[in-house]
Chains A and B, each alone.
Chain A
């Protein structure tokens, strides 16, 4: 019996997220910004998590996609379909540059190799930038890659593994 490999879950854009996913399809990270207080909200709750406005009237604005690693985990079993071929993979918890504690979680496309060696490239504070996985026609899913680390001048990886 052979069955085709299951696909990864696809995002279902809704009234809170349509512009986010349409930008992601174009490989742009655009986050919801509250019209009342100007803070980014991820996810964009119906109440602004910063000023508590019930009418945040979010606009989706492109951000730099740059950030620093606050933590990571190496996923060796996925409860979701579609990731089996990618195991093990690294998830990074990233604080985006635009706002204190604006945190986002995605796959680090450099993979577990970023943890190899005596001075691994993946560490607390490592710089990353957003990348996108084209998981389906018209669907881009945000992820991250290690960016050039400034003082040591380690070279930037050549890009995503997919």
Chain B
């Protein structure tokens, strides 16, 4: 597979957004919150539902627990929303895979670029079910689970605990170094009105005192499950010029797929980094920028170690160095010379919104809509989601060249 320039580079733009409240349990069903958020995003773009002819999402309900998946309650597929938003959608599609945000944005961009739709609503609706998020009452481990569950390897906590410990051991890193990452995410999230952690920053001491869950992963290395919805409107660059907000263009995207078959949820460090480095190479080739041009590398942080992995995969520091790179204010978005890797608060600072905070921060900053945290002169952003070897990233720009 030869990587190459993304033919639709900067031909499609984000022109509006909306975000629901982020709550542990919303008072109303997820579907209703999604419909409201979709309508608000369309209005923000200066459009009406009749103007939207494409609807794209990724509807995955990412729990390992034994929770039923019910459309409109725990998951909101594109067809569910299309039936309720308007009758005009001609392109209704869903992304199936990990790295849902770059996956669905790529589908939306391609729909607009190809003419399958002129204006696409993309959204992500996330649900926190009653009871423990990952609790599973399985008595029989069938299919892929038979290779892992009988011996107690199960769910995303052990999944991330293994490669994170592999990293700490191999590079002689201290887990206390991660306090810089988590404190930065919570600082920024505490300033976001809809965040679950609004006005609730975290100190390094609180981070270090948190109980371990799957060593070396502690409670605050994990985002908190929530009910929340975000929606964006994408349209052609030509059409975007007529709309109220400054467009933010999609320059390119890339996603990874593991090179080796593994046991379910076995994500060894070398798999993450080898494939992740290739994901980054394709991202730069598609979008025409490199790490030196990126003002806003919004790194995925659903589990904090992904921040290290993305920093290294994208080339902001050498492999094995991220635990040092994040120290001494170098990722502090309040410092003019800081690299703002979590200025949008991330998932750790907002709640389990997957890669939405990363995408939204790129949009808000590059559209000049970031309010008090607006960064002067930011023109290129990268929004990452999931692991570098299973997820992906999207490059956004304010200035198509």
Contact = CB atoms under 8 A, between A and B. Distances in A.
Contacts of B163: 71
B241 to A, nearest CB: 48
B266 A73 contact: no
A77 B152 contact: no
Nearest to A81: B137
Contacts of A150: none
Nearest to B160: A73
Contacts of B150: 8-11, 135, 139, 141
A80 B154 contact: yes
Contacts of A70: 166, 268
A123 B215 CA distance: 14
Contact of B151 (A13, A43, A49, A141): A141
Interface in B168-217: 169-170, 211-217
B213 to A, nearest CB: 6
Contacts of B144: 43
Given A9-B139, A73-B214, A17 B261 contact: no
Contacts of A13: 146
A10 B260 CA distance: 27
Contact of A10 (B139, B169, B263, B268): B139
Given A10-B140, A79-B134, A86-B152, A73 B215 contact: yes
B155 interface: yes
A63 to B, nearest CB: 15
B154 A78 contact: yes
Interface string A93-107: 100000001011111
B158 A11 contact: no
Interface residues of A, number: 47
A89 B153 CA distance: 11
Given A80-B152, A142-B151, A101 B266 contact: no
B143 A14 contact: yes
A106 B142 contact: no
Contacts of A11: 140-141, 146, 150
Given A73-B162, A86-B152, A101-B260, A124 B140 contact: no
A91 interface: yes
A74 interface: yes
B69 interface: no
Contacts of A25: none
Contact of B165 (A42, A72, A81, A106): A72
Contacts of B134: 79
Nearest to B269: A71
A78 B146 contact: no
Nearest to A104: B263
A6 B140 CA distance: 12
Q: Name the residue among B134, B138, B144 with the largest chain A CB count within 10 angstroms.
A: B138
B147 interface: yes
Nearest to B155: A79
A7 B152 CA distance: 12
Given A41-B261, A43-B147, A93-B266, A75 B152 contact: yes
Contacts of A81: 136-139
A12 interface: yes
Contacts of B263: 42-43, 103-105
Contacts of B260: 49, 101
B170 to A, nearest CB: 7
Max count, chain B CB within 10 A of own CB: residue among A77, A86, A89: A77
5 contacts: A11-B146, A75-B158, A81-B136, A83-B152, A103-B263
Interface of A: 6-14, 17, 21, 41-43, 45, 49, 70-81, 83, 86, 89, 91, 93, 101, 103-107, 123-124, 133, 135, 139, 141-143
Given A21-B146, A91-B158, A143-B151, 16 more contacts: A9-B138, A11-B146, A12-B141, A12-B143, A42-B263, A49-B261, A72-B162, A73-B162, A73-B165, A75-B161, A78-B152, A79-B134, A79-B136, A105-B153, A107-B152, A133-B151
